[in-house]
Structure 1
Amino acid sequence: MIGSPQSPAPQDPYYTLPNEWDSAAERLALLGAAYDPESITLAESLGVTAGSRCLEAGAGGGSFARWLCATALPGGRVLAVDADPRHLTDLPDRGGEVARLDLTTDDLPQHEFDFVHTRFVLLHIAQRDTVLPRLARALAPGGILLLEEGDGLGVLNEMPGAFGEVWRAFARSTELAGANQSWARNLPAHLEALGLIDIRANVEIPVFRGGSQMARMWSLTWAQVHETLTALRVSPQVIATARAELADEERWFYAPPTVRASGRAPRESVATP
């Protein structure tokens, strides 16, 4: 049964950047502003339109779910689920549905959605190889599963300056918590193994200027995980330098690659693991 947004919040054992942090709403809004344009362009190319039945799994700040509401409704359906949906309270006013749901343990509707999407969710979940088939089973015949996940893809050791030093420590901290920074590069093979067809995939390395929305998002990330970083022997001075670099409009940075992969459930049957 789908969880209710009013039910007690479960402990979130797998996500490294929990939603209850004081500045989480700002960080999530900046993440959406940085990544939504590519997500929206890809979703439109995959056929998301008025009347589409959509599942946003791990909806976070809800920016992409809001776009789904504006695009698929009325006539379609938008269900946004998250282990901590505190930033999704406006979605019902937009016609969407919200559920508090742990993707690792709670049931998802099966065979109901034309479009299922996650972004920067599965790499953080140690049980990702169990969650992925469940997302595929949520697809109606002919439905599309779109995954957008981060992956080091060999660039982490090339990231310069204090920003790179902090990013490498952050990546280690996420893996200690159950993340896998090299899992996403194999997404096309994972989707094919689930029986999905029409698989598409690409990789993008975001390049951004200091002082930009993406720079501010990373600066807030370093603030959120400050204690974790210092526990990994990153000095507060290095963290402060990395945040100062990110505020410098004369600097340019690149973020770890984003792997985007999609696959379609066969129309004659729904994909199964």
Structure 2
Amino acid sequence: MASDEGYLLDNRQREAGRRFDALAELFDPWTLAHLDRLGPAEGWRCWEVGAGGPSLPGALAARVGPTGHVLATDIDTSWLDRAGAPGVEVRRHDVTRDDPPAGGFDLVHARLVLVHLPDRAEALRRMAAALRPGGFLVLEDADPALQPLACPDERGPAEQLANHVRRGFRALLADRGVDLSFGRTLPALLRGAGLTDVRAEGYFPVTSPACRELEAATVRQLRTQLTGGGLATEEEIQRHLANLESVELDVTTAPLVTCWGRRPP
């Protein structure tokens, strides 16, 4: 995605792989349904920015076929390298500092990337500049301020604890410069980058096993920061992780805003 400086959820940590799997289960069907509307078709050139894991680059490669090209970039490509998705070129790239890849793209996509970057405007400008005439930019980012709770139905101690831990996570994000209201700004940002036919939709999974798995992996990845910052105790984290093993705990994610626009022909 961008420089490691300030990025809270480091790809090099062991729990990152579990987060990627949960994110793919939760969001890939939604994401691919939107990309398929735009027509990622045989022969397209696609750039997946801040890819993290291999699921979306692999799905795009299957759609563009042998005459197309899929470039997957990240500042840490370890999870992409080990997966070795067929038909995907993997490259280390910092979208806020490095020039856009040459050649132009029919589709540029980034999910849960810009919200973490200190220079979001520059990253968006570079992605928009990489489009061919008529190409699509699709950005998907969270908006935790739209719905900040882990458990909107705070019906008991387990849900109250989940919301307490989620408040700690949000505090860590804000401390790193994450804009917790960023998702809703995407339509205006895409129009400001000169794109047309801008549309946006939101996705809000209320509960599922993948929601609980994502929550558990995130909490495990951040437990040192949560306890070190006085945002949760070790006992609270252990209890929360135990609660997440129960199907009775309905845990959700922040709403995901999917926005797309087209470079004028």
The normalised TM-score by structure 2 is 0.91
Matched residue type, 1:177: R
> For 1:19-67, what per-residue CA distance to the aligned partner results, in whole angstroms no more than 9, with x for missing partners?
1112322221221121111011110011112211100000001211111
- Count of matched residue pairs: 256
Q: Distance in 2 between matches of 1:246 and 1:264?
A: 41
How many angstroms apart in 2 are the aligned matches of 1:135 and 1:74?
Answer: 24
Query: Any unmatched runs of 5+ in structure 1?
Result: 1-9, 268-273
Matches within 5 A, 1:193-272: 193-209=192-208, 212-233=209-230, 234-267=232-265
Q: Which amino acid aligns with 1:232?
A: G
More helix by share: 2
How far apart, in 2, do the equivalents of 1:204 and 1:32 lie?
14
| Residue type of the alignment partner of 1:170 | F
Query: Relative to 1, partners in 2 of residues 1:93 and 1:153: Cα closer, same or farther, differing over 3 Å?
Result: closer
- Extract structure 1 runs of 4+ deviating beyond 4 A: 90-93
Q: Percent identity?
A: 35
- What is residue 176 of structure 1 aligned with on the other side? 175
Q: 2:200 is aligned with what amino acid?
A: A
- CA separation in 2, counterparts of 1:20 and 1:89? 13
- In the TM superposition, residue 253 of structure 1 has moved relative to its aligned partner by 2.3
Distance 2:171 2:182 in 1: 14
**How far apart in 1 are the matches of 2:114 and 2:7?**
10
- 2:64 — aligned with what? 72
Match of 1:121 in 2: 113
Q: Deviations over 1:91-138 (max 9, x none)?
A: 766121111011121111256101000011110011111111111001
Question: TM-score, length-normalised on structure 1?
Answer: 0.88
Residue of 33, 37, 42 corresponding to 1:41: 33
Q: Distance in 2 between matches of 1:264 and 1:91?
A: 31
CA distance in 1, matches of 2:198, 2:85: 35
Letter aligned with residue 42 of structure 2: A
CA pair 93-30 structure 1, distance change in 2 beyond 3 A? closer
Q: 1:60 to 1:168 in 2, by over 3 A?
A: same
Q: What is the deviation of 1:185?
A: 0.8
In 2, the alpha carbon distance for the partners of 1:111 and 1:265 equals: 15
Question: Could you say which residue in structure 2 is the equivalent of 1:187?
Answer: 186
- The separation in 2 between residues aligned to 1:254 and 1:95, in whole angstroms, is 34
Tell me, what secondary structure is at the counterpart of 1:75? Answer: coil
Give yes or no for contact 1:91–1:98 (8 Å, CA) kept in 2: no
1:248 Cα deviation after fit: 1.1
1:156 aligns to what SS in structure 2? coil
Contact 1:66-1:91 at 8 Å conserved across structures: no
Matches of 2:256 and 2:238, distance apart in 1: 26
